[in-house]
Structure 1
Amino acid sequence: MGYPRALIGMVVALIATSTALFLFFQANPKTISSPLDTLSSEIDAGTDGPEVVEQPESAQPAAPSITISTTLERTAPIESYLREAGMGPSEARQWASYIQRIIANRYFESGHPLTLYKDPETGEMRGIKYDLDENSTVIGASLGAGVLKAAIRPIEYYIRPIKMTFAVKDNFQHAAAEHGIPKPIVDSLQDAFSDRHDLNRLKPGSAVKLIYQEKVSRDGSYTLVGDVQAAQIRFGSRTLTAISFADEHGQPHLYDEQGHALGPQSLKFPLNFEYISSGFTFHRYHPILHEYRPHVGVDLVAKYGEPVKSVADGTVISAGWQGELGNCIRIQHQHEMVSIYGHLSKISPDVKPGSYVHMGQLIGNVGSTGLSTGPHLHFAMEKDGAWVNPLTEHLGENHQVSPRMRAIFDEIKDQYQSALAELPDLGSHFIASGERKPAISKFGDMYHVTLGHTLGTVRHLRGITSSRLETSASDSAL
């Protein structure tokens, strides 16, 4: 049993990390087809929709639609917006009635993007596209003869790698903000290196090389922050390195060059609570049974329904009713540690015996099931089969790449380190006396260089040395 499971784990990790690398090194947005073309192709394929009226073949293809895109400034009925767009009352009412059945809302909301597709000759509405949120959009199309089709579709994203290097002038956070690094990326770096070095204490002249991902919608409307893929921070004689790698369960972590996990590997508490009503003791008076007995955990008082998270990566041993503890979850962690979560009102559907959970994953909600006098979480831990105090015990330490995954990790690490090596070396050794510290960022195949208040473009790295930057004056802007 162990060998197939290990083999499956390796395959999962290889696919997850290789996919990330492929997207990183090969990412390019694909040609975006019209939403109306998408609906038409679905109709041709026979997918569900209103009855289609056959149209005679045209000798010439229809002219491209006129596209009008806007972000709505107010919340208003769908019919109202369509009439403002030029539809007649009956047509607008028909479209609005059909769309609101699809989205279960008779309003278009303020702040949401809306795109109209119109016939360039007649001005008639060919279709509309309205984004419900960052993940889904509703597309409506006219098929002629009063026949409409509408459907909710996921918004497609492509991965855009961002590669950059910059020098720290005063402190890390200011430098990161100055170069537009998203806060989640900054937080991820600070968490990763928290036990190695406080990045807010980096001295001026320290150099940062960074590779992270952005998710960009195919129409360019949305940009979502992805994850850190690799980072290298040099200060004094030290260099800190972080490499993203997916483990056997497909969960990405940041590791150092030796394959040791970086950053916090466990949570101190599994939820936001108000206070501890009962501590860990072997002699406690039970408020319901009215007798003295061990209380081998801590009771964390919180609001009913408060989310409960797994304190570390692990495998679910059991999830369900467990006598006095009511709805309870037991999770097996490394080093023969087990965490217990009792009196839950609800257990998350994906938390089942044998399922793998990661640190911070939602596993249930606070309740008062079993022998309980009010909403709270009974949180306990076992080590080697014996009860231990969860307030003093630690989980998730010394997590590292498993031996069977080491060869894959080393290959991934080499590729990311090669990518980092391609970025220019900055820092105190790069700056001549009196010069402004430059910031160089790579987007796609071009490095953007900021020197003082002038932005130039370095098209070839071959011209960059420790004392000279060749920029194209014709590309200067700002």
Structure 2
Amino acid sequence: MPPQKTKTPRYPKSHIMAASGIAAALSIFLLVIPTTDVEARRTFVPLELETSPILEGQPSVSDQLDALISETVTVASPLQLAHPTETPIQTEASPAILQSRATAPESTSAELAETTDSPPTDWISVTVAAGNTLSVLFSQLGFSAASLHSVVSSSKDAQRFTRLKVGQVVEFKKDETGELLAIRSKLNDLETIRLDKKGGTFAFTTESIKPDVRTRFAKGEINSSLFLSAQKAGLSHNLTMQMANIFGYDVDFAREIRKGDSFEILFEELHVGEKRVGTNNILAARFTNRGKIFTAVRYTDKNGNSSYYRADGTSMRKAFIRTPVELARISSRYNPNRRHPVLKTVRPHRGVDYAAATGTPIRATGDGRVVHAGRKGGYGNTVVIKHGQKYQTLYAHMSRFAKGLKAGDNVSQGQVIGYVGTTGLSTGPHLHYEFLVNGTHVDPLNVKLPVSDPIPKAERTAFLEISNSLMAKLDQQGSTQLASLEE
């Protein structure tokens, strides 16, 4: 059978005319409506559409187009003119308003800034970037070299503005002519420094906030290292070092710390409002090392001198501290029969070596007078300190000496006298430390150190009241924290 032909459907002529009219109207509508990228002017195009009904009882094509335009403008977001100070296009506007928009001259850039910019603030804020100096900041802001000289030379304190750090915020204030009136910078949460022009120079002032001092408790158990355990307990690096220094007379933190050792401390925490801004002194502490308990209480005597004593009032301070390099690793001990690693001969090792990075500070282990500061054969850069008539200490292989240190200077216990290095006969950066008693070498790790005086009898009663109160707080806080952890 021959294939049947498919019949093309025929629509009424009135329907085809209506559809063609709507399509033409929509095309014109899309062409005449402006976008955000074109100039904000309207062009009116007269449209004459036949009003042939689509179906009996339905609105005409013209009526449907009017309704469509009205609905589209109502639903869509208002279209903005290209000029930021003009008002949005309205769906209805009089010819006079439209003519005004089309013929009005464009605003000048000055007028635009005046319209859109917020008023300038009194202070211009600049954040210091890498490589910035005060001279660079002055140049960026248009201040003269004479103005910079006037600032820096106004006082010694004013030179603090030349020691800028990356991220530091510095603020400048100008007068109507652009001349510098003042500079200020917040150094931390507690201190702001400032310079104000007075006459022909600048006056320096510092604004300090006095923080609230609160007492806080912390405890921890050492599993791997003192630093990690202290950090986990919420202690800052400075507090950890303070604790190590307090117990440094009794505990050698370089070789005697063991897993399971523990600590409890009461310390001062500084707050501005509810914000923690730092820490201050340790008030009381308890350190357990290999089962032995050491205590410390801070006490200020009637003369205003503060020191740490054991809870019973005996002195913690000895004439010498055990280690001249804080928390360093012992790489070689005192050994009269050691084979020298460089000379390859049996040569007594009459001291202790502390391995540390080049540049690590070296501290004097006791009060005394420097009798040598310079090169000393295989020792390299060396400092020798005499402590009274009986004791002497030696510090060798330094990379450099403390600034200004020389023979004849008096030094105090804990004072930095030089920095770790590898000068002389040395296979790597370390400090070689020797201890002599009446001119004879002894093992610095095992020598019995002389003890300082205990609490004076006249102040013993006052000290014990403070000591008993602080030790009770340690016990109470420790029990409270343990109970909260068990819950």
TM-score using structure 1 length? 0.48
TM-score using structure 2 length? 0.47
Say which structure is richer in strand.
1
Q: Give the number of the structure with larger relative contact order, counting CA–CA contacts within 8 Å between residues 6 or more apart.
A: 1
